[in-house]
Amino acid sequence: MKYTNGGVCAAKGFKASGVYCGIKKSNSPTHKNDLGMIVSDVPCAAAAVYTTNKVKGAPIIVTKKNLKKTGGVARAVIVNSKNANTCNADGEEKAEKMCSLAANALGIKSEEIIVASTGVIGQVLPIEPIEAGIKPLVDGLSYTGNEAAATAIMTTDTIKKEYAVEFEIGGVKCKIGGMAKGSGMIHPNMATTLNFITTDAAIEKNALQEALNDIVKITYNCLSIDGDTSTNDMVALMANGLAQNEEIKSGSVEFVLFKSALYEVMMHLTRMLAKDGEGASKLIECVCKGAPNQDDAITVAKSVIGSTLFKCAIFGEDANWGRILCAVGYADAEFDINKVDVDLKSEYGEIAVCRSGAGVEFSEEKAAEILKSDEIFVLINLHAGEAKATAWGCDLTYDYVKINGDYRT
Average pLDDT over every residue of 218-237: 76
Q: Is 113 left (phi over 0), alpha (psi -120 to 50) or beta?
A: beta
* 303 and 374 inside one domain: yes
The bridge status of strand 194-199 relative to strand 234-239 is parallel
**Cα 304 to Cα 392: distance, rounded to the nearest angstrom:** 10
> Which one from 118, 151, 155, 192 is the annotated catalytic residue?
192
Q: What is the pLDDT of residues 302-345, one digit of tens each?
A: 999 999 999 999 999 999 999 999 999 999 999 999 999 999 99
Other CB atoms closer than 10 Å to residue 260's CB: what's the count? Answer: 13
* 271 and 328 inside one domain: no
Q: Last residue of some domain: 275, 307, 340?
A: 275
* 239 and 116 inside one domain: yes
What secondary structure letter does DSSP report for 143?
Answer: T
Q: Last residue of some domain: 216, 240, 275?
A: 275
Question: Percent of the chain scored above 70 by pLDDT?
Answer: 93
Average pLDDT over every residue of 279-284: 90
Give me the DSSP letters along 176-220. EEEEEE-SSS--SSS-S-EEEEEE---B-HHHHHHHHHHHHHHTG
* 354 and 237 inside one domain: no
* 322 and 233 inside one domain: no
Yes or no: say if 87 and 121 are a contact pair by the CB < 8 Å rule: yes
Please report, for the domain that includes residue 313, its CATH number: 3.10.20.340
* 112 and 214 inside one domain: yes
* 139 and 244 inside one domain: yes
pLDDT number for residue 170: 94
Position with higher pLDDT, 351 vs 227: 351
Q: Last residue of some domain: 275, 294, 318?
A: 275
Q: Which of 5-14, 88-97, 225-234, 251-260 has the lowest mean pLDDT?
A: 225-234
Domain encompassing residue 243: 2-275
Say whether pLDDT at 228 is over 80. no
| CB neighbour list of residue 101: distance below 8 Å, 6 or more residues apart | 78, 130, 131, 134
pLDDT number for residue 294: 97
Confidence of residue 191 (pLDDT cuts 50, 70, 90): very low
Average pLDDT over every residue of 61-66: 96
* 28 and 149 inside one domain: yes
Say whether pLDDT at 190 is over 80. no
Alpha carbon distances (Å) from 328 to 208, 252, 296: 34, 37, 11
* 80 and 165 inside one domain: yes
Yes or no: say if 193 and 235 are a contact pair by the CB < 8 Å rule: yes
3 state DSSP class of 18: strand
* 253 and 298 inside one domain: no
Confidence of residue 27 (pLDDT cuts 50, 70, 90): low
Distance of CA 69 to the CA centre of its chain: 26
Say whether pLDDT at 164 is over 50. yes
Yes or no: say if 283 and 375 are a contact pair by the CB < 8 Å rule: yes
Please report, for the domain that includes residue 81, its CATH number: 3.60.70.12
Strand partners, 142: 16
Where does 268-386 show beta strands of DSSP type E? 283-291, 341-346, 349-355, 358-359, 375-381
Give the DSSP H/E element, type plus range, for residue 81.
Answer: none
Q: Which of 68-82, 169-183, 332-346 has the lowest mean pLDDT?
A: 169-183
**Cα 177 to Cα 65: distance, rounded to the nearest angstrom:** 25
Other CB atoms closer than 10 Å to residue 390's CB: what's the count? Answer: 21
* 130 and 66 inside one domain: yes
pLDDT number for residue 332: 95
The bridge status of strand 73-80 relative to strand 113-117 is parallel
**Cα 393 to Cα 307: distance, rounded to the nearest angstrom:** 10
The tally of domains found in the chain comes to: 2
User: Is 229 among the residues known to form the active site?
Assistant: no
pTM, 2 dp? 0.91
Which class for 119: exposed (0-12), middle (13-18), buried (19 or more C-beta within 10 A)?
buried
Give the DSSP H/E element, type plus range, for residue 27.
Answer: none
Give the DSSP H/E element, type plus range, for residue 31.
Answer: none
CA angle (242, 246, 250) in 5-degree steps: 110
**Cα 282 to Cα 346: distance, rounded to the nearest angstrom:** 11
Which class for 314: exposed (0-12), middle (13-18), buried (19 or more C-beta within 10 A)?
buried
As a whole number, the mean pLDDT across the chain is 92
Give the alpha-carbon dihedral of 371, 376, 381, 386, to 10 degrees: -160
* 241 and 164 inside one domain: yes
pLDDT number for residue 409: 61
Yes or no: say if 351 and 366 are a contact pair by the CB < 8 Å rule: yes
